Chains A and B, each alone.
Chain A
Amino acid sequence: MRAIHYLQRYWQLYIMLLPVIAYFFVFKYMPLYGVTIAFKEYNPFKGVNASEWIGLDVFRNIFAMEDFYTALRNTFLLNGLDFVFGFPAPIFLAICLNELKFASFKRLSQTLLYLPHFISWVIIGGIMYQLFATNYGIINLLLAKIGIAKIPFLSDSSYWLVTYTSVGIWQSIGWGSIIYLAAMTGINKELYDAADVDGASRLRRIWHITIPGIRSTIIVLMILKIGDMVDIGFDRPYIIGNVMVRDVSDVLSTFIYRVGLQNSQYSTATAVGLFQAVVGLAFVLTANYVSKKTTDESII
């Protein structure tokens, strides 16, 4: 009875919710039946249903492929680097921006820092080749002018990792800082004033007020990021990578593209995707659990 009464009062809210639920259902849940092709000998001309079941053969096949392990290792490697260096970067930037006195300067630098986020990786890739190529790259030409030997930014595995990580940070740092800046506006100004009165230095204020103020945001984003550990975007490693560094640049997404699309082995590609999803889920749950136990913050 109370439920009906409740609905009578708030039904508009549920109507508004409807399209969102429909979206998730149609675009996120319905395609799930396609995952079954990971357990089938998928023949696109017969369709999903008529293709034959083959149990776990596809997975056995994948786990016997050397390239799969290379791709998996590289995925963790690149994501790990992004996590260690790329994750704290926007926090650092947001704190710096937050400390700026002049509002107009702050806005200007924020806007400039967002910009790279809107540039497609294809274009970034083109710019990078102009900048970092070993022989004609602007940076190497400049280095040569001051007598420093050429640095193989793109063709040596370890240098490439540095290039990959730093370009990633450059591209996403501004955008990533938005959410922290938003969280900082929620911090009570009186805390800062009180700290001022107590004679706290700027660093002390950051350490004891700003960072605790955005702690929950950091943790939520960190858990999500850990969940994405096996999930890696396609464009960035594919475009920045090249044949000389394939040892470290071939990741699961490019592996799926190569095997699934270029070689038309859709079952294999789906199975790798499913594997990614399962491992990703395990990561999120673990991170969530650990966070709940240690800091009392969690997302589920």
Chain B
Amino acid sequence: MKAFRKGVMQWFLVCMVFALVLVGCSSGDNSKSEESGESAVSKGADTNVVEKPKERVKLRVEVFDRGNAPEGVTVTNNEMIAYIQKNFGDPNNIDLEFVPVPRTDEINQLSVLMAAGTAPDVSFTYNSGAVYNWAKQGGLTDLTQLLSENGPQLQSYIGDAMNYGVFDDKQYAVVARRVNLEKYTSIIRQDWLDKAQLPVPKTTEETYNTLKKFKEMNLGGNRTFPLSFALTPDSYEPIIWSFIKEQSDEARYLRSVTIGSREYPILADGHKDGVRFLNKLYNEGLIDPDFALDKDKKKKEENFVNGYTGIMTSDVTQYYFGGEESQVNQLEKNVPGSSVTPLLPWTDFEGKTRQPAYTPSGMYIIVPSFSKRSTEAIKYLNWLAQDEVIQYMSFGEEGVHHDVVDGFPVRNGSDADKKLLFNTGDMLVITNGIDFGSAERNLAYNGLVIDEKHRDAAMANRKMSSQDAVRQPIAFDKPLDSEAKNSTIMLEKYEELLVKAMMAKPDQFDTVYDAALKDFMSSAGNEVIAERTAAYEAMNK
């Protein structure tokens, strides 16, 4: 028996050694092949007399996958990619590989790719905190030099937004432009107003009374939820901000926190009143009682198109987009006789329609420090910034993918259009929206993409969202460590605060709100506010 045990032990040892050798070999092989690959590159460069045909290299580029590719194409294999390969890749001896990242899980996936050292050469995210964290840890390539050498067109195209990508005097990210700064819009059921014999409400009080009336009359049947509401920023942000009494920059620096790309005025005077108002709406049955389960707005949109909703709020004119399939069109189809009117439902203590707006910056485009293709990456972005490339990647060819209406290219909705341009925004990453040179022209263009029946209403609606709008978030000269570190926790705690306080019985509201706020502050809020205060004082020295 003893001998048997000894035998087993020996065998076990042999196995361990064997496994070790195996592992050792494989990693050794890897490094060798990489080395030889590199030397081949340099050799190629040496021996070739002609400048252009260097060793063919591969450039990996991130692309969002929204699961919306038309039949027959994918986000990694489509006509747009063929166009890029032909016009940018082949002339420069570059093979492009597009790496799909699911849109909804974008930041988590990219974090893993970054940590694993396999993130694409051109990566991007909206999460400035994460970008700052990577920059601090040495995970990003400093693009200052590369941009001045290879990115002149890119720099002039993006202009001022580029400053958002400077941390500690180094350009760590190319920040896309954002052309349209409008954030949220609302519409109200005109047929309901007619039935209730009410005018379009103009103040928070009038809006509240209108909602009450809608509920009393059960205008959408038993499931009438007069106000659309989900556990998403487009539902709570417009209402909360209309209750904030403090307007000064100082108050925003010291009593707001930034979570992701949004500003939450959690300690500002009026925040509690805003939540109390939401609590009232909930307890009086004016919003969907299951709102907290609706984190992707699906239920909210369903309620609207099925005619249960009186006032609908969403990202700017979202409900008008989509041509015949737009939510408003679906509603009009589902509920005969229904129609909608744009409105600004919420007013603040001064009677102004204070509401959030975007800053003129979009995605943060980065090149990881482990990327060997940083030059090619910038060349690619620079190529994207050329007029004819922007034109083709946004609108395709005239007559095939778009028609010219009033001097604007308007996509024609054909199969060819959908096949080429279904994810144009995700491919042309350097800008969010197309700039036609002036605010009027941009507004006119934004109207043209909406079906004729609703065009005027949609344009009026869009114009409304700039009235008394405040660009958010208010930014420090660099992102704050504590906000970068705590962004997920803060968002979850904030949602918890909203849900608990809204769903509390009215007489328990104060207790619940105060406890939830205390929890928010102790888990991350205090740390963030302390850093904001210090940074604000440093800025004003």
Interface stretch of the complex, out of A93-101, A129-137, A286-294? A129-137
Interface flag for A119 (CB, 8 Å): no
Interface flag for A2 (CB, 8 Å): yes
Interface flag for A25 (CB, 8 Å): yes
Task: Please measure, in the bound complex, the distance between the C-alpha atom of A22 and the C-alpha atom of B26, giving whole angstroms.
Answer: 15
Task: Please measure, in the bound complex, the distance between the C-alpha atom of A136 and the C-alpha atom of B496, giving whole angstroms.
Answer: 22
Chain A 1-33 interface residues, beta-carbon cutoff 8 Å to B: 2-3, 6-7, 14, 17-18, 21-22, 25-26, 30
Task: Please measure, in the bound complex, the distance between the C-alpha atom of A45 and the C-alpha atom of B15, giving whole angstroms.
Answer: 33
Task: Please measure, in the bound complex, the distance between the C-alpha atom of A261 and the C-alpha atom of B370, giving whole angstroms.
Answer: 20
* Nearest B residue to A14, CB-CB: B11
Q: When A and B form their complex, what is the total count of cross-chain residue pairs whose Cβ atoms lie within 8 Å?
A: 102
Interface flag for B526 (CB, 8 Å): no
Which of A18, A26, A258 makes the CB contact (< 8 A) with B23? A26
Which of A2, A25, A67, A243 makes the CB contact (< 8 A) with B292? A243
Interface stretch of the complex, out of B32-40, B384-392, B481-489? B481-489
CB atoms of A264 and B293 under 8 A apart: no
- A25-B293 contact in complex given A243-B492, A243-B495, A263-B487, C-beta closer than 8 Å: no
Task: Please measure, in the bound complex, the distance between the C-alpha atom of A45 and the C-alpha atom of B19, giving whole angstroms.
Answer: 27
What count of chain B residues pass the 8 Å CB interface test?
A: 48
CB atoms of A135 and B290 under 8 A apart: yes
Interface flag for A187 (CB, 8 Å): no
Instruction: Give the residues in chain B near A243, CB-CB below 8 Å.
Output: 231, 292, 492, 495-496, 499
CB atoms of B496 and A246 under 8 A apart: yes
* Nearest B residue to A150, CB-CB: B289
Instruction: Give the residues in chain A near B489, CB-CB below 8 Å.
Output: 67, 258-259, 263
Instruction: Give the residues in chain B near A261, CB-CB below 8 Å.
Output: 108, 111-112
Interface flag for A46 (CB, 8 Å): yes
Interface flag for B74 (CB, 8 Å): no
CB atoms of B293 and A154 under 8 A apart: yes
Chain A 229-250 interface residues, beta-carbon cutoff 8 Å to B: 242-244, 246
Instruction: Give the residues in chain A near B16, CB-CB below 8 Å.
Output: 25
CB atoms of B138 and A46 under 8 A apart: yes
Which of A6, A25, A30, A66 makes the CB contact (< 8 A) with B7? A6
* Nearest A residue to B137, CB-CB: A43
Which of A14, A26, A44 makes the CB contact (< 8 A) with B115? A44
Interface flag for B25 (CB, 8 Å): no
Instruction: Give the residues in chain B near A266, CB-CB below 8 Å.
Output: 115
Interface flag for B3 (CB, 8 Å): yes
- B260 to chain A: closest CB distance in Å? 11
CB atoms of A264 and B115 under 8 A apart: yes
CB atoms of A262 and B108 under 8 A apart: yes
Task: Please measure, in the bound complex, the distance between the C-alpha atom of A155 and the C-alpha atom of B492, giving whole angstroms.
Answer: 16
Interface flag for B139 (CB, 8 Å): yes
Interface flag for B145 (CB, 8 Å): no
Instruction: Give the residues in chain B near A17, CB-CB below 8 Å.
Output: 11
Instruction: Give the residues in chain B near A135, CB-CB below 8 Å.
Output: 288-290
The 0/1 profile, CB within 8 Å of A marked 1, for residues 100-136 of chain B is 0000000110011011110000000000001001100
Which of B11, B111, B293, B485 makes the CB contact (< 8 A) with A242? B293
Interface flag for B523 (CB, 8 Å): yes
CB atoms of B3 and A45 under 8 A apart: no
- A174 to chain B: closest CB distance in Å? 28
Instruction: Give the residues in chain A near B138, CB-CB below 8 Å.
Output: 43, 45-46
Task: Please measure, in the bound complex, the distance between the C-alpha atom of A164 and the C-alpha atom of B301, giving whole angstroms.
Answer: 28
- A22-B15 contact in complex given A7-B7, A258-B489, C-beta closer than 8 Å: yes
Chain A 243-291 interface residues, beta-carbon cutoff 8 Å to B: 243-244, 246, 258-259, 261-266
CB atoms of A134 and B289 under 8 A apart: yes
- A136-B290 contact in complex given A14-B11, A45-B137, C-beta closer than 8 Å: yes
CB atoms of A25 and B4 under 8 A apart: no
Instruction: Give the residues in chain A near B495, CB-CB below 8 Å.
Output: 243
Interface flag for B12 (CB, 8 Å): yes
Interface flag for B436 (CB, 8 Å): no
- B96 to chain A: closest CB distance in Å? 25
Chain A 100-125 interface residues, beta-carbon cutoff 8 Å to B: none
Instruction: Give the residues in chain A near B139, CB-CB below 8 Å.
Output: 44-45
CB atoms of B133 and A264 under 8 A apart: yes
Q: A26-B23, A44-B117 given. 13 additional CB < 8 A pairs?
A: A17-B11, A18-B15, A21-B15, A45-B139, A135-B288, A136-B290, A154-B293, A246-B496, A259-B489, A262-B111, A262-B488, A263-B486, A266-B115
Q: Would you list 25 pairs from A and B whose C-beta atoms are within 8 A, ordered by A residue?
A: A3-B4, A3-B6, A6-B3, A7-B7, A17-B11, A18-B15, A22-B19, A26-B19, A43-B138, A44-B114, A45-B138, A46-B137, A66-B523, A67-B489, A134-B290, A135-B289, A135-B290, A155-B293, A242-B292, A244-B292, A244-B293, A244-B503, A258-B492, A261-B108, A264-B115
